[in-house]
Structure 1
Amino acid sequence: MQTHQAAGSGQPRLAAVLSNIVGPLAVAVSGGVDSVTLATFAHRCAAGRVEMFHAISPAVPEEATDRIEQLARDQGWRLRIVSAGEFTDENYMSNPVDRCFFCKTNLYACIARHCDAQILSGANLDDLREYRPGLEAAKRHSVRHPYLEAGIDKGAVRLLARELGLGAISELPAAPCLSSRVETGIRIRPEVLKAIHAVERSIARDFPTGIIRCRVRAERVVIELDPETLAAIVGKHEDAVRAEADRIFAGIASTLELSFEPYRNGSAFVHSRP
Protein backbone atom coordinates (compact mmCIF):
# COMPACT_ATOMS: atom_id res chain seq x y z
CA MET A 1 0.00 0.00 0.00
CA GLN A 2 1.07 3.57 -0.66
CA THR A 3 1.43 5.68 2.45
CA HIS A 4 2.20 9.10 0.99
CA GLN A 5 -0.29 11.91 0.68
CA ALA A 6 -1.12 12.54 -2.95
CA ALA A 7 -2.27 15.80 -4.52
CA GLY A 8 -5.70 16.10 -6.10
CA SER A 9 -8.56 13.64 -5.82
CA GLY A 10 -6.58 10.73 -7.26
CA GLN A 11 -9.28 9.64 -9.73
CA PRO A 12 -6.86 8.01 -12.24
CA ARG A 13 -5.05 6.08 -9.48
CA LEU A 14 -8.31 4.96 -7.92
CA ALA A 15 -9.66 3.86 -11.29
CA ALA A 16 -6.47 1.88 -11.89
CA VAL A 17 -6.80 0.11 -8.53
CA LEU A 18 -10.38 -0.93 -9.27
CA SER A 19 -9.62 -2.01 -12.82
CA ASN A 20 -6.84 -4.26 -11.57
CA ILE A 21 -9.16 -6.19 -9.26
CA VAL A 22 -10.51 -9.20 -11.11
CA GLY A 23 -14.11 -10.31 -10.65
CA PRO A 24 -17.10 -8.94 -8.74
CA LEU A 25 -16.78 -6.22 -6.11
CA ALA A 26 -18.68 -5.68 -2.85
CA VAL A 27 -18.46 -2.21 -1.31
CA ALA A 28 -19.21 -1.89 2.41
CA VAL A 29 -21.19 1.36 2.63
CA SER A 30 -21.77 2.87 6.07
CA GLY A 31 -23.32 6.12 4.87
CA GLY A 32 -20.36 8.44 5.51
CA VAL A 33 -18.49 10.42 2.89
CA ASP A 34 -15.69 7.86 2.48
CA SER A 35 -17.79 4.81 1.71
CA VAL A 36 -20.45 6.72 -0.24
CA THR A 37 -17.80 8.28 -2.47
CA LEU A 38 -16.12 4.92 -3.05
CA ALA A 39 -19.45 3.30 -3.86
CA THR A 40 -20.34 6.07 -6.30
CA PHE A 41 -16.96 5.90 -8.04
CA ALA A 42 -16.96 2.10 -8.21
CA HIS A 43 -20.47 2.09 -9.64
CA ARG A 44 -19.47 4.51 -12.38
CA CYS A 45 -16.28 2.60 -13.19
CA ALA A 46 -17.59 -0.95 -13.01
CA ALA A 47 -21.37 -0.91 -12.51
CA GLY A 48 -21.90 -4.42 -13.88
CA ARG A 49 -19.72 -6.07 -11.25
CA VAL A 50 -20.33 -3.94 -8.15
CA GLU A 51 -22.82 -4.52 -5.33
CA MET A 52 -23.19 -2.28 -2.29
CA PHE A 53 -23.74 -3.70 1.21
CA HIS A 54 -25.16 -1.59 4.03
CA ALA A 55 -25.54 -3.06 7.51
CA ILE A 56 -28.29 -1.82 9.80
CA SER A 57 -28.17 -2.04 13.58
CA PRO A 58 -28.92 0.07 16.67
CA ALA A 59 -25.44 1.61 16.23
CA VAL A 60 -26.25 3.00 12.77
CA PRO A 61 -28.30 6.23 12.64
CA GLU A 62 -31.47 5.94 10.57
CA GLU A 63 -30.46 8.94 8.48
CA ALA A 64 -27.35 7.08 7.29
CA THR A 65 -29.54 4.23 6.03
CA ASP A 66 -31.97 6.70 4.45
CA ARG A 67 -29.04 8.39 2.67
CA ILE A 68 -27.81 5.08 1.28
CA GLU A 69 -31.23 4.01 0.07
CA GLN A 70 -31.82 7.36 -1.64
CA LEU A 71 -28.43 7.23 -3.36
CA ALA A 72 -29.13 3.68 -4.52
CA ARG A 73 -32.37 4.84 -6.12
CA ASP A 74 -30.81 7.94 -7.67
CA GLN A 75 -27.70 6.22 -9.00
CA GLY A 76 -29.05 2.80 -9.81
CA TRP A 77 -26.88 0.87 -7.37
CA ARG A 78 -27.35 -2.79 -6.63
CA LEU A 79 -27.85 -2.47 -2.89
CA ARG A 80 -28.27 -5.15 -0.28
CA ILE A 81 -29.36 -4.20 3.24
CA VAL A 82 -28.09 -6.70 5.79
CA SER A 83 -27.87 -7.24 9.53
CA ALA A 84 -24.28 -8.04 10.41
CA GLY A 85 -25.28 -9.53 13.76
CA GLU A 86 -22.79 -7.77 16.01
CA PHE A 87 -25.54 -7.25 18.61
CA THR A 88 -25.63 -11.00 19.15
CA ASP A 89 -21.85 -11.11 19.68
CA GLU A 90 -20.87 -10.92 23.34
CA ASN A 91 -17.36 -9.83 22.34
CA TYR A 92 -18.89 -6.70 20.80
CA MET A 93 -21.59 -6.08 23.39
CA SER A 94 -19.12 -6.12 26.29
CA ASN A 95 -17.45 -3.11 24.63
CA PRO A 96 -13.72 -3.83 24.93
CA VAL A 97 -11.21 -1.32 23.63
CA ASP A 98 -11.03 -3.28 20.38
CA ARG A 99 -14.82 -3.41 19.95
CA CYS A 100 -14.45 -2.22 16.35
CA PHE A 101 -12.54 -5.41 15.54
CA PHE A 102 -15.59 -7.49 16.43
CA CYS A 103 -17.94 -5.09 14.63
CA LYS A 104 -15.98 -5.33 11.39
CA THR A 105 -15.43 -9.06 11.81
CA ASN A 106 -19.19 -9.56 11.89
CA LEU A 107 -19.71 -7.18 8.97
CA TYR A 108 -17.17 -8.74 6.65
CA ALA A 109 -18.25 -12.27 7.53
CA CYS A 110 -21.84 -11.28 6.77
CA ILE A 111 -20.93 -9.84 3.37
CA ALA A 112 -18.88 -12.94 2.57
CA ARG A 113 -21.89 -15.13 3.33
CA HIS A 114 -23.94 -13.21 0.77
CA CYS A 115 -21.46 -13.13 -2.11
CA ASP A 116 -18.11 -14.30 -3.45
CA ALA A 117 -16.98 -10.79 -4.37
CA GLN A 118 -13.83 -8.93 -3.35
CA ILE A 119 -14.88 -6.78 -0.38
CA LEU A 120 -13.82 -3.12 -0.48
CA SER A 121 -13.70 -0.62 2.38
CA GLY A 122 -13.49 3.17 2.41
CA ALA A 123 -10.47 3.43 4.71
CA ASN A 124 -8.21 6.32 3.70
CA LEU A 125 -4.70 7.45 4.65
CA ASP A 126 -5.89 9.55 7.59
CA ASP A 127 -7.32 6.41 9.22
CA LEU A 128 -3.79 5.03 9.59
CA ARG A 129 -3.03 7.81 12.08
CA GLU A 130 -5.59 6.52 14.58
CA TYR A 131 -6.24 3.35 16.53
CA ARG A 132 -8.33 1.33 14.05
CA PRO A 133 -8.78 -2.29 15.18
CA GLY A 134 -11.27 -2.71 12.34
CA LEU A 135 -8.33 -2.71 9.94
CA GLU A 136 -7.09 -5.94 11.52
CA ALA A 137 -10.50 -7.51 10.93
CA ALA A 138 -10.28 -6.33 7.32
CA LYS A 139 -6.86 -7.95 6.96
CA ARG A 140 -8.16 -11.27 8.25
CA HIS A 141 -11.00 -11.18 5.71
CA SER A 142 -8.74 -10.11 2.81
CA VAL A 143 -10.62 -6.83 2.45
CA ARG A 144 -8.99 -4.31 0.13
CA HIS A 145 -8.81 -0.56 0.68
CA PRO A 146 -8.75 1.23 -2.69
CA TYR A 147 -8.08 4.67 -1.17
CA LEU A 148 -5.03 3.36 0.66
CA GLU A 149 -3.76 1.61 -2.44
CA ALA A 150 -4.22 4.82 -4.44
CA GLY A 151 -2.61 7.04 -1.78
CA ILE A 152 -5.79 9.01 -1.04
CA ASP A 153 -6.43 10.90 2.21
CA LYS A 154 -9.61 12.43 3.64
CA GLY A 155 -9.16 15.74 1.86
CA ALA A 156 -8.81 13.96 -1.47
CA VAL A 157 -11.93 11.91 -0.73
CA ARG A 158 -13.92 15.11 -0.19
CA LEU A 159 -12.52 16.58 -3.40
CA LEU A 160 -13.45 13.41 -5.26
CA ALA A 161 -16.97 13.59 -3.83
CA ARG A 162 -17.33 17.12 -5.18
CA GLU A 163 -16.00 16.04 -8.57
CA LEU A 164 -18.58 13.26 -8.64
CA GLY A 165 -21.37 15.75 -7.96
CA LEU A 166 -22.24 14.43 -4.51
CA GLY A 167 -22.93 17.94 -3.22
CA ALA A 168 -23.50 18.23 0.52
CA ILE A 169 -22.26 14.68 1.07
CA SER A 170 -18.74 15.93 0.34
CA GLU A 171 -18.95 18.04 3.51
CA LEU A 172 -20.47 15.45 5.81
CA PRO A 173 -18.71 15.57 9.18
CA ALA A 174 -17.11 12.43 10.54
CA ALA A 175 -19.79 10.20 12.03
CA PRO A 176 -18.44 7.14 13.85
CA CYS A 177 -21.01 4.56 14.91
CA LEU A 178 -23.11 5.35 17.96
CA SER A 179 -21.36 2.68 20.04
CA SER A 180 -18.20 4.79 19.88
CA ARG A 181 -19.89 7.19 22.32
CA VAL A 182 -19.99 4.60 25.09
CA GLU A 183 -16.93 4.47 27.32
CA THR A 184 -14.81 1.35 26.95
CA GLY A 185 -15.93 -1.36 29.34
CA ILE A 186 -19.55 -0.15 29.66
CA ARG A 187 -21.87 -2.67 28.04
CA ILE A 188 -23.49 -1.62 24.77
CA ARG A 189 -27.27 -1.30 25.10
CA PRO A 190 -29.53 -0.41 22.14
CA GLU A 191 -31.74 1.86 24.25
CA VAL A 192 -28.70 3.88 25.33
CA LEU A 193 -27.55 4.29 21.73
CA LYS A 194 -31.02 5.51 20.79
CA ALA A 195 -30.90 8.09 23.56
CA ILE A 196 -27.39 9.21 22.58
CA HIS A 197 -28.53 9.79 19.02
CA ALA A 198 -31.64 11.66 20.14
CA VAL A 199 -29.56 14.05 22.28
CA GLU A 200 -27.14 14.72 19.44
CA ARG A 201 -29.94 15.34 16.96
CA SER A 202 -31.73 17.70 19.34
CA ILE A 203 -28.59 19.86 19.58
CA ALA A 204 -27.88 19.59 15.85
CA ARG A 205 -31.23 21.14 15.03
CA ASP A 206 -29.92 24.47 16.33
CA PHE A 207 -26.23 23.86 15.52
CA PRO A 208 -26.25 21.83 12.28
CA THR A 209 -22.57 22.39 11.44
CA GLY A 210 -21.22 21.67 14.92
CA ILE A 211 -19.29 18.64 16.11
CA ILE A 212 -21.55 17.02 18.70
CA ARG A 213 -20.83 13.89 20.71
CA CYS A 214 -22.94 12.62 23.58
CA ARG A 215 -20.62 10.39 25.61
CA VAL A 216 -21.89 7.92 28.20
CA ARG A 217 -19.38 7.35 30.96
CA ALA A 218 -19.52 5.25 34.11
CA GLU A 219 -21.44 7.71 36.28
CA ARG A 220 -22.23 10.64 34.02
CA VAL A 221 -23.07 11.84 30.56
CA VAL A 222 -20.74 14.25 28.79
CA ILE A 223 -21.71 16.34 25.80
CA GLU A 224 -18.58 17.18 23.82
CA LEU A 225 -18.74 20.09 21.38
CA ASP A 226 -16.45 21.95 19.03
CA PRO A 227 -15.22 25.30 20.47
CA GLU A 228 -17.76 27.49 18.66
CA THR A 229 -20.76 25.35 19.58
CA LEU A 230 -19.53 24.95 23.15
CA ALA A 231 -19.23 28.72 23.54
CA ALA A 232 -22.69 29.22 22.07
CA ILE A 233 -24.38 26.72 24.41
CA VAL A 234 -22.65 27.06 27.78
CA GLY A 235 -24.19 29.86 29.80
CA LYS A 236 -26.87 30.57 27.20
CA HIS A 237 -28.63 27.36 26.18
CA GLU A 238 -27.09 25.03 28.73
CA ASP A 239 -30.21 24.63 30.89
CA ALA A 240 -32.39 23.84 27.89
CA VAL A 241 -29.95 21.26 26.53
CA ARG A 242 -29.59 19.70 29.98
CA ALA A 243 -33.36 19.48 30.43
CA GLU A 244 -33.80 17.83 27.03
CA ALA A 245 -31.03 15.33 27.77
CA ASP A 246 -32.67 14.51 31.11
CA ARG A 247 -35.97 13.92 29.34
CA ILE A 248 -34.40 11.67 26.69
CA PHE A 249 -32.37 9.61 29.16
CA ALA A 250 -35.18 9.29 31.72
CA GLY A 251 -35.33 5.68 32.87
CA ILE A 252 -32.27 4.76 30.78
CA ALA A 253 -29.26 6.41 32.39
CA SER A 254 -28.78 9.13 34.95
CA THR A 255 -27.81 12.56 33.62
CA LEU A 256 -27.49 14.17 37.04
CA GLU A 257 -23.77 14.46 36.38
CA LEU A 258 -24.19 15.79 32.84
CA SER A 259 -21.41 18.14 31.80
CA PHE A 260 -20.21 20.01 28.72
CA GLU A 261 -16.64 19.62 27.49
CA PRO A 262 -14.54 20.38 24.40
CA TYR A 263 -14.69 17.70 21.73
CA ARG A 264 -11.85 15.17 21.84
CA ASN A 265 -11.57 12.57 19.10
CA GLY A 266 -11.91 9.05 20.49
CA SER A 267 -12.28 10.15 24.09
CA ALA A 268 -14.51 7.16 24.91
CA PHE A 269 -11.44 4.93 24.60
CA VAL A 270 -10.13 5.45 28.11
CA HIS A 271 -8.34 2.19 28.83
CA SER A 272 -5.10 0.73 27.53
CA ARG A 273 -5.13 -0.97 24.18
CA PRO A 274 -4.68 -4.74 24.19
Structure 2
Amino acid sequence: MPLPVHLQRAYEALQQWFTARQQVAVAFSGGVDSSLLFYLGSRFLGKAHCRGVFVNSVLIARQQAVFARQFATEHDLNLVEGRHRPFAVAGFSDNGAERCYLCKSAIYQDLSQELGQAWLLVDGTNMDDDHASRPGFRALAELAVDTPYLHCHIGKQEIRALSKALGLATWDRPSDSCLATRIPRGRPITAELLHTVEAAEDALHGLGLTGMRATPVDQTLHLTVKEGDLDKFLVSEVRNNIQKKMRSLGFSKVFLDLSERPGILP
Protein backbone atom coordinates (compact mmCIF):
# COMPACT_ATOMS: atom_id res chain seq x y z
CA MET A 1 0.00 0.00 0.00
CA PRO A 2 1.45 3.40 -1.02
CA LEU A 3 2.27 5.76 1.81
CA PRO A 4 0.60 9.18 2.15
CA VAL A 5 2.74 11.95 0.70
CA HIS A 6 4.01 13.29 4.04
CA LEU A 7 4.93 9.80 5.25
CA GLN A 8 6.59 8.96 1.95
CA ARG A 9 8.75 12.05 2.41
CA ALA A 10 9.77 10.92 5.89
CA TYR A 11 10.44 7.37 4.67
CA GLU A 12 12.61 8.54 1.78
CA ALA A 13 14.51 11.00 3.96
CA LEU A 14 15.41 8.22 6.40
CA GLN A 15 16.31 5.90 3.53
CA GLN A 16 18.67 8.49 2.11
CA TRP A 17 20.20 9.09 5.53
CA PHE A 18 20.82 5.41 6.27
CA THR A 19 22.11 4.41 2.85
CA ALA A 20 24.77 7.13 3.08
CA ARG A 21 26.27 5.19 6.04
CA GLN A 22 27.97 1.82 6.10
CA GLN A 23 27.22 0.37 9.53
CA VAL A 24 24.76 1.76 12.06
CA ALA A 25 24.07 0.73 15.65
CA VAL A 26 20.73 1.95 17.02
CA ALA A 27 20.40 2.60 20.75
CA PHE A 28 17.28 0.46 21.02
CA SER A 29 14.83 0.60 23.93
CA GLY A 30 11.76 -1.07 22.44
CA GLY A 31 9.92 2.26 22.32
CA VAL A 32 8.21 3.69 19.27
CA ASP A 33 11.11 5.95 18.19
CA SER A 34 14.05 3.56 18.37
CA SER A 35 11.97 0.62 17.10
CA LEU A 36 11.19 2.39 13.83
CA LEU A 37 14.86 3.39 13.42
CA PHE A 38 16.01 -0.18 14.07
CA TYR A 39 13.43 -1.63 11.69
CA LEU A 40 14.08 0.80 8.83
CA GLY A 41 17.86 0.76 9.28
CA SER A 42 17.80 -3.01 8.93
CA ARG A 43 15.58 -2.78 5.87
CA PHE A 44 17.79 -0.17 4.19
CA LEU A 45 21.23 -1.53 5.13
CA GLY A 46 20.57 -5.21 5.72
CA LYS A 47 20.77 -7.18 8.94
CA ALA A 48 24.56 -7.45 8.85
CA HIS A 49 25.04 -3.69 8.72
CA CYS A 50 22.44 -2.51 11.21
CA ARG A 51 22.24 -3.68 14.78
CA GLY A 52 20.17 -2.64 17.73
CA VAL A 53 21.86 -2.30 21.09
CA PHE A 54 19.57 -2.84 24.06
CA VAL A 55 21.15 -1.75 27.34
CA ASN A 56 19.47 -3.53 30.23
CA SER A 57 19.65 -2.37 33.85
CA VAL A 58 17.67 -1.96 37.04
CA LEU A 59 16.26 1.20 35.42
CA ILE A 60 14.46 -0.81 32.72
CA ALA A 61 11.16 -2.49 33.51
CA ARG A 62 11.31 -6.22 32.86
CA GLN A 63 8.27 -6.10 30.59
CA GLN A 64 10.04 -3.51 28.45
CA ALA A 65 13.02 -5.84 28.01
CA VAL A 66 10.69 -8.71 27.07
CA PHE A 67 8.94 -6.54 24.49
CA ALA A 68 12.23 -5.35 22.96
CA ARG A 69 13.43 -8.94 22.48
CA GLN A 70 10.09 -9.98 20.99
CA PHE A 71 10.17 -7.08 18.53
CA ALA A 72 13.65 -8.01 17.33
CA THR A 73 12.72 -11.68 16.98
CA GLU A 74 9.47 -10.94 15.14
CA HIS A 75 11.25 -8.81 12.53
CA ASP A 76 14.44 -10.88 12.35
CA LEU A 77 16.64 -8.02 13.53
CA ASN A 78 20.23 -8.11 14.77
CA LEU A 79 19.86 -7.43 18.49
CA VAL A 80 22.81 -7.09 20.86
CA GLU A 81 22.30 -6.74 24.62
CA GLY A 82 24.52 -4.91 27.07
CA ARG A 83 24.38 -4.23 30.78
CA HIS A 84 24.48 -0.90 32.59
CA ARG A 85 25.10 -0.43 36.32
CA PRO A 86 23.77 3.04 37.12
CA PHE A 87 24.70 2.94 40.80
CA ALA A 88 28.34 2.73 39.76
CA VAL A 89 27.98 6.16 38.13
CA ALA A 90 29.13 8.89 40.51
CA GLY A 91 26.27 11.21 41.43
CA PHE A 92 23.49 9.12 39.88
CA SER A 93 21.83 7.96 43.09
CA ASP A 94 21.79 11.55 44.42
CA ASN A 95 19.06 12.19 41.84
CA GLY A 96 20.10 15.76 41.15
CA ALA A 97 19.52 17.89 38.08
CA GLU A 98 22.37 16.15 36.21
CA ARG A 99 21.14 12.59 36.82
CA CYS A 100 20.00 11.95 33.25
CA TYR A 101 23.14 13.51 31.80
CA LEU A 102 25.43 11.41 34.00
CA CYS A 103 23.60 8.22 33.16
CA LYS A 104 23.37 8.85 29.40
CA SER A 105 27.04 9.82 29.27
CA ALA A 106 28.09 6.59 30.97
CA ILE A 107 25.90 4.44 28.73
CA TYR A 108 26.98 6.03 25.46
CA GLN A 109 30.64 6.13 26.43
CA ASP A 110 30.53 2.39 27.09
CA LEU A 111 28.66 1.71 23.85
CA SER A 112 31.03 3.82 21.78
CA GLN A 113 34.04 1.98 23.18
CA GLU A 114 32.47 -1.43 22.61
CA LEU A 115 31.30 -0.66 19.07
CA GLY A 116 34.53 0.97 17.93
CA GLN A 117 34.89 3.30 14.98
CA ALA A 118 33.37 0.90 12.47
CA TRP A 119 29.85 1.47 13.80
CA LEU A 120 27.95 4.76 13.93
CA LEU A 121 25.86 4.97 17.11
CA VAL A 122 22.46 6.63 16.66
CA ASP A 123 19.64 7.68 18.98
CA GLY A 124 15.88 8.12 18.47
CA THR A 125 15.63 11.75 19.59
CA ASN A 126 13.08 13.50 17.35
CA MET A 127 11.93 17.02 16.51
CA ASP A 128 9.26 17.06 19.22
CA ASP A 129 11.65 16.28 22.07
CA ASP A 130 12.42 19.29 24.26
CA HIS A 131 16.19 19.37 23.86
CA ALA A 132 16.69 22.35 26.15
CA SER A 133 15.11 20.60 29.16
CA ARG A 134 16.70 17.18 28.57
CA PRO A 135 20.18 16.96 30.09
CA GLY A 136 20.64 13.62 28.34
CA PHE A 137 20.60 15.39 24.98
CA ARG A 138 23.79 17.20 25.96
CA ALA A 139 25.47 13.82 26.37
CA LEU A 140 24.52 12.88 22.80
CA ALA A 141 26.11 16.02 21.43
CA GLU A 142 29.30 15.63 23.47
CA LEU A 143 29.78 12.01 22.41
CA ALA A 144 28.84 12.54 18.74
CA VAL A 145 25.87 10.19 18.90
CA ASP A 146 23.91 10.83 15.71
CA THR A 147 20.17 11.59 15.55
CA PRO A 148 18.58 10.65 12.19
CA TYR A 149 15.14 12.04 13.03
CA LEU A 150 16.63 15.48 13.67
CA HIS A 151 18.57 15.37 10.40
CA CYS A 152 15.38 14.44 8.58
CA HIS A 153 13.13 16.87 10.50
CA ILE A 154 10.79 14.11 11.68
CA GLY A 155 8.54 14.46 14.74
CA LYS A 156 6.63 12.10 16.99
CA GLN A 157 3.35 11.99 15.10
CA GLU A 158 5.13 11.13 11.85
CA ILE A 159 7.04 8.38 13.65
CA ARG A 160 3.81 6.88 15.01
CA ALA A 161 1.94 7.22 11.73
CA LEU A 162 4.81 5.70 9.71
CA SER A 163 5.12 2.86 12.22
CA LYS A 164 1.40 2.15 11.86
CA ALA A 165 1.59 2.25 8.06
CA LEU A 166 4.45 -0.26 8.16
CA GLY A 167 2.53 -2.59 10.45
CA LEU A 168 4.73 -2.17 13.52
CA ALA A 169 3.07 -3.01 16.86
CA THR A 170 4.93 -0.12 18.47
CA TRP A 171 2.91 2.56 16.68
CA ASP A 172 0.55 3.13 19.63
CA ARG A 173 2.91 2.15 22.41
CA PRO A 174 2.82 4.78 25.19
CA SER A 175 5.99 6.80 25.62
CA ASP A 176 8.11 5.27 28.33
CA SER A 177 11.25 6.40 30.08
CA CYS A 178 13.50 4.79 32.64
CA LEU A 179 12.15 4.05 36.11
CA ALA A 180 14.38 6.74 37.65
CA THR A 181 12.14 9.41 36.09
CA ARG A 182 9.39 8.40 38.52
CA ILE A 183 11.46 9.40 41.56
CA PRO A 184 11.02 13.06 42.59
CA ARG A 185 14.15 15.15 42.05
CA GLY A 186 16.36 15.21 45.13
CA ARG A 187 15.07 11.97 46.65
CA PRO A 188 17.91 9.43 46.67
CA ILE A 189 17.43 6.56 44.25
CA THR A 190 17.77 3.02 45.55
CA ALA A 191 17.30 -0.32 43.84
CA GLU A 192 14.51 -1.13 46.29
CA LEU A 193 12.63 2.04 45.40
CA LEU A 194 12.94 1.29 41.67
CA HIS A 195 11.64 -2.24 42.17
CA THR A 196 8.67 -0.88 44.14
CA VAL A 197 7.80 1.57 41.36
CA GLU A 198 8.03 -1.21 38.78
CA ALA A 199 5.78 -3.47 40.89
CA ALA A 200 3.23 -0.65 41.22
CA GLU A 201 3.11 -0.01 37.48
CA ASP A 202 2.97 -3.74 36.72
CA ALA A 203 -0.04 -4.02 39.02
CA LEU A 204 -1.73 -1.09 37.26
CA HIS A 205 -1.06 -2.61 33.85
CA GLY A 206 -2.56 -5.85 35.10
CA LEU A 207 -5.76 -3.93 35.82
CA GLY A 208 -5.81 -2.66 32.22
CA LEU A 209 -4.32 0.74 33.06
CA THR A 210 -1.42 0.80 30.64
CA GLY A 211 0.77 3.84 30.21
CA MET A 212 0.29 5.04 33.78
CA ARG A 213 3.10 6.60 35.81
CA ALA A 214 3.54 5.88 39.50
CA THR A 215 5.48 8.45 41.54
CA PRO A 216 6.34 7.68 45.17
CA VAL A 217 6.15 10.70 47.49
CA ASP A 218 7.16 9.72 51.02
CA GLN A 219 4.74 6.91 51.94
CA THR A 220 2.13 7.93 49.36
CA LEU A 221 1.84 7.14 45.67
CA HIS A 222 0.82 9.66 43.01
CA LEU A 223 -0.64 8.23 39.80
CA THR A 224 -0.75 9.96 36.42
CA VAL A 225 -3.25 8.35 34.09
CA LYS A 226 -3.01 8.10 30.32
CA GLU A 227 -5.34 10.43 28.45
CA GLY A 228 -8.71 8.77 27.93
CA ASP A 229 -8.42 6.41 30.91
CA LEU A 230 -9.60 8.77 33.66
CA ASP A 231 -13.18 7.47 33.45
CA LYS A 232 -11.97 4.02 34.51
CA PHE A 233 -11.43 5.42 38.00
CA LEU A 234 -15.16 6.09 38.33
CA VAL A 235 -15.62 2.36 38.88
CA SER A 236 -15.38 1.63 42.61
CA GLU A 237 -14.04 -1.89 42.02
CA VAL A 238 -11.09 -0.46 40.07
CA ARG A 239 -10.30 2.05 42.82
CA ASN A 240 -10.55 -0.60 45.52
CA ASN A 241 -8.25 -2.97 43.64
CA ILE A 242 -5.69 -0.22 43.17
CA GLN A 243 -5.76 0.76 46.83
CA LYS A 244 -5.38 -2.85 47.92
CA LYS A 245 -2.43 -3.51 45.63
CA MET A 246 -0.62 -0.29 46.47
CA ARG A 247 -1.05 -0.79 50.20
CA SER A 248 0.52 -4.22 49.84
CA LEU A 249 3.58 -2.40 48.44
CA GLY A 250 3.80 -0.19 51.52
CA PHE A 251 1.95 2.95 50.39
CA SER A 252 -0.48 4.41 52.91
CA LYS A 253 -2.45 6.50 50.40
CA VAL A 254 -2.87 6.75 46.65
CA PHE A 255 -3.50 10.08 44.90
CA LEU A 256 -4.66 10.61 41.32
CA ASP A 257 -3.20 13.43 39.23
CA LEU A 258 -6.03 14.90 37.16
CA SER A 259 -3.65 16.20 34.46
CA GLU A 260 -3.66 13.21 32.10
CA ARG A 261 -0.65 12.10 30.09
CA PRO A 262 -1.02 13.11 26.41
CA GLY A 263 -2.71 10.65 24.07
CA ILE A 264 -1.10 8.79 21.20
CA LEU A 265 -2.49 10.61 18.16
CA PRO A 266 -4.30 13.92 17.79
Q: Which moved more, 1:66-75 or 1:137-146?
A: 66-75
Q: Normalising to structure 1: TM-score of the pair?
A: 0.84
Q: Does 1:145 align with 2:162?
A: no
Q: Which residue of 1 aligns with 2:264?
A: none
2:120, 2:226 → 1: CA distance? Answer: 38
Written as runs of structure 1 = structure 2, the 5 A alignment for 1:178-257 is 178-208=179-209, 210-218=210-218, 220-226=220-226, 228-233=228-233, 236=236, 237-247=238-248, 249-250=249-250, 255-257=251-253
Superposition CA RMSD, Å:
2.2
Identify, as 1 or 2, the structure richer in strand: 2
Unmatched 5+ residue regions in structure 1? Answer: 1-5, 266-274
2:257 to 240, 244, 261: 261
Three-state SS of the structure 2 residue aligned to 1:111 is: helix
Which structure is higher in RCO with an 8 Å CA cutoff and minimum separation 6? 1
**Which residue number in structure 2 is paired with residue 69 of structure 1?**
69
Whether the aligned pair in 2 keeps the contact of 1:222 and 1:259 (CA below 8 Å) is: yes
The code of the aligned residue for 1:28 comes to: A
Amino acid at match of 1:193: L
Question: What SS does the aligned partner of 1:7 have?
Answer: helix
Mapping of 1:75-90 within 5 angstroms?
A: 75-90=75-90
Contact 2:243 2:253 in 1 (8 A): no
Which amino acid in structure 2 is aligned with residue 135 of structure 1? F
Count of aligned positions: 253
Q: Which runs of 5+ in 2 are unaligned?
A: 262-266
> Structure 2: how far apart are the matches of 1:138 and 1:58?
22
Deviation of the 1:137 alpha carbon: 0.4
In 1, Cα distance between the equivalents of 2:160 and 2:227?
A: 23
Cα contact 1:211–1:263 (8 A) shared by 2: no
Contact 1:226–1:263 (Cα < 8 Å) also in 2: no
Q: Secondary structure at the match of 1:81?
A: strand
Q: Report the Cα offset of residue 90 of structure 1.
A: 3.0
CA distance in 2, matches of 1:164, 1:201: 29
Q: In structure 1, what is the Cα distance between the partners aligned to 2:226 and 2:45? A: 39
Structure 1 match to 2:103: 103
Partner of 1:26: 25
Q: Which residue, 154, 157, 165 being the options, matches 1:155?
A: 157
For 1:129 and 1:152, the matched residues in 2 are separated by 14
TM-score (norm 2): 0.87
Q: Which deviates more, 142-151 or 105-114?
A: 105-114
Structure 2 Cα separation of the partners of residues 163 and 100 of structure 1? 33
Using the aligned pairs only, state the percent identity: 22
**Displacement, 1:73?**
2.3
Contact 2:230 2:260 in 1 (8 A): no
